[in-house]
Structures are given as structure tokens and as C-alpha cells.
């Protein structure tokens, strides 16, 4: 059995080069090695330190983003076609990126990924940002850069459509509602 610890280290100052460290330990062969537990402790410590470093980079990017405001909302729909052989891996990476963006970035109001029922390789992402500065800050975060580099070979086509709301007031009311599974049944 392989224990595969992959972690994102840091981004160089231009924000595009990812340094990734991978530690592979063959447990079945190593468990009798007297240094096995030390190797495992070191690997887990390195992983934790790298996650902390990634969080600092994310917080730095977020600090530059303004708090959400009602004026200047940036709304777009990403229309993406995924190569079928990469669909499951793509969806997994996208799910992590979308959750991190909404959770960690105050300027990201929504990143809502979905796919067509009849054509699951056709992915659509509704993106709502507080403003263009929040969007620009989002593009520099480690989770977005990781998503972009890891999924590049998986994407068959990409179209980004800038949208304008017909009724901004009603659109903003959507986010005030709480939807629970009980109320939907």
C-alpha cells in the first residue's frame, strides 16, 4: 500500500510557477524499517508546514481584495467542455477550488459549478465577485493557480461570458435566503 502525500508548497513571485513536493512511502516494505515512523512523522510535518505556508499566501492575496459591496458586482458564466477521460478528476479539483474560493476570499460571493445532465462533460460555472479587484485577487490565490495548472490538459474548450444582471436588486435578495433540504421537500 502506498501512502502518497502530495502538497502544494509555494508560488514563485510571478504567481505562475508551482513548486510541488511529493513524498511516497511504501508502507508494506517500510513498516519493518526502524526509521519508518520517523520518515512518516517528517513527511506529515512537512505537509503541515506547507499547508500553513499556502494559507499565508492565500491570506496575503485576500488582504488585497476589498470586502463585498453591492455596486460593481462582476458576474460571469464559464462554459467549459472537459475531455471525457478526465471528467472525474476535473470535477474533484474544481470542487476543492470552488469551496476554497468561497470560504477564504471575502470578494468571492459565489462560484457555483454545475454540469449538463445530458452532457456531463459540459461544465458551467456561475461566478459572482464583489468587483473586478476581487476577481483579480482571486486569480492570484494558490487554490486557483493549482486548479488552473492541474486542469489545463483536461479542458477541451473554454468560453468566459461576462454577464449583466437585468434586476440587480432581486439578484441580491437571492443571497439573503436560506435554503435547507427540509424546505425543498
Domain housing 29: 2-63
Last residue of a domain, one of 63, 85, 106: 63
In this structure, is residue 107 part of a structural domain?
A: yes
Give the separation between CA 150 and CA 142, rounded to whole angstroms. Answer: 12
For 49-71, the pLDDT digits (tens) are 555 555 555 555 545 444 444 45
| Positive/negative CA dihedral, 96, 102, 105, 110 | positive
In this structure, is residue 68 part of a structural domain?
A: no
Cα 56–chain centre separation: 16
Q: Is the pLDDT of residue 93 over 70?
A: yes
Same domain for 152 and 85? yes
Same domain for 81 and 162? yes
Percent of the chain topping pLDDT 90:
49
Give the separation between CA 135 and CA 15, rounded to whole angstroms. Answer: 15
Same domain for 49 and 102? no
Same domain for 14 and 78? no
List the beta bridge partners of residue 126: 77, 112
Strands 18-26 and 108-115: what pairing? unpaired
Give the separation between CA 26 and CA 40, rounded to whole angstroms. Answer: 11
Give the separation between CA 53 and CA 51, rounded to whole angstroms. Answer: 5
Identify the CATH number of the domain in which residue 171 sits. 3.30.70.100
Same domain for 78 and 160? yes
Same domain for 123 and 153? yes
pTM above 0.85, yes or no: no
Amino acid at each position: 500500500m502506498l501512502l502518497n502525500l502530495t502538497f502544494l508548497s509555494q508560488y514563485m513571485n510571478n504567481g505562475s510557477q508551482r513548486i510541488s513536493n511529493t513524498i511516497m512511502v511504501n508502507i508494506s516494505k517500510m513498516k519493518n524499517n526502524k526509521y519508518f515512523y520517523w520518515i512518516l512523522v517528517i513527511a506529515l510535518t512537512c505537509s503541515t508546514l506547507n499547508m500553513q505556508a499556502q494559507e499565508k499566501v492565500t491570506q496575503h492575496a485576500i488582504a488585497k481584495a476589498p470586502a463585498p459591496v453591492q455596486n460593481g458586482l462582476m458576474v460571469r458564466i464559464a462554459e467549459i467542455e472537459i475531455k471525457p477521460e478526465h471528467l472525474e478528476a476535473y470535477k474533484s479539483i474544481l470542487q476543492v477550488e470552488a469551496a476554497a474560493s468561497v470560504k477564504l476570499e471575502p470578494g468571492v460571493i459565489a462560484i457555483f459549478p454545475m454540469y449538463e445532465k445530458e452532457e456531463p462533460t459540459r461544465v458551467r460555472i456561475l461566478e459572482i465577485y464583489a468587483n473586478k479587484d476581487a476577481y483579480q485577487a482571486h486569480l492570484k490565490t494558490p487554490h486557483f493557480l493549482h486548479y488552473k495548472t492541474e486542469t489545463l490538459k483536461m479542458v477541451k474548450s473554454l468560453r468566459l461570458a461576462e454577464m449583466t444582471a437585468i434586476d440587480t436588486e432581486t439578484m441580491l435578495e437571492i443571497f439573503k435566503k436560506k435554503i435547507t433540504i427540509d424546505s425543498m421537500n
